[in-house]
Amino acid sequence: VISTSEDILDLSSTSNIFKVIHSLAQSNIVQEMIIFWRSPSTPPPLEDWYRFGNVKDSRIDIKLVQNKNESLVDKLSVAGSCQLGSVLLVDDDVTLATEEVQFAQSVFKDFPDRLVGFTPRLHYWDDVGRSWKYTSKASHQFSMVGTEVAIMKRKYARIFYDYLPRHTLRYLDELPHCRDLLLNFLVAHVTRKAPVKVTQRRLMTSPSSRELPTQAERVKQFQEKQDCLATFTEDFGEMPLVTSVVRMDPVLFKDPVSNLRKKYRKIETLA
């Protein structure tokens, strides 16, 4: 499921979303792509998605779903309609190499009940404030992964939409930046396990693909996530998030051996 932003007014053949589509198509593991179009503008016709995304594999089915609601509830309801048992969530402003998709899928096969992603986040207990806190600072620990690029079982999308309390879901309409937190809460609550972080990359968003938020907007979003963390902990009646220090890298990652021996050579060059 590829989710677009609300501020897309027009697309060209060089738009970042078509690069994402091409990377997914080249991975040979994607059988269906659902474009979740959230912009009020009219999306390109379906044939343009194949043409500009350079999708030549006739086995890949591209579908277009229009919805102006930004909340992850609707995004996950779209994911819940996928035909396969696993779902790859992707935002349209990320930079994503084909090898990264392939490696993430190979890791997901070994951890099919986990949320597998690239961008780590962490919760921690604040002794002074006597409350749980959220941070995205670089650390050797993490307890959440962002949903800019993430793989999970389709059933979590259906559980998210069908079984979470209505008042918890309505909270996302006011604070949409908390959607990835709630998904991590749900998966951790079900599995009692930490998510899985893959590769060395910590940021997936392309700086050139969208206008960067101002300092004031970043501070506001950060405070919103602090409030969401407290609210979700209260709604779940516990803190389900589990901390991990494990990062999955390809075999021979950065080892001083010939590149011919390495299956995922490009991943080493991505930071």
Q: Are β-strands 131-135 and 86-91 bridged in parallel, bridged antiparallel, or unpaired? A: unpaired
For residue 5, CA distances in Å to 24, 26, 55, 134, 220 come to 19, 23, 22, 25, 19
Whether residue 180 lies in the annotated active site: yes
Can you point out the beta strands (E) in the chain? 2-3, 32-37, 61-66, 86-91, 116-117, 120-126, 131-135, 144-145, 149-153, 196-198, 247-248
Can you point out the beta strands (E) in 92-243? 116-117, 120-126, 131-135, 144-145, 149-153, 196-198
Comparing CA positions, the residue from 70, 18, 78 lying closest to residue 49 is 18
Question: Position 147: which residue type?
Answer: T
Indicate which residue of 74, 91, 93, 180 is catalytic: 180
Which positions are annotated as active-site residues?
A: 180
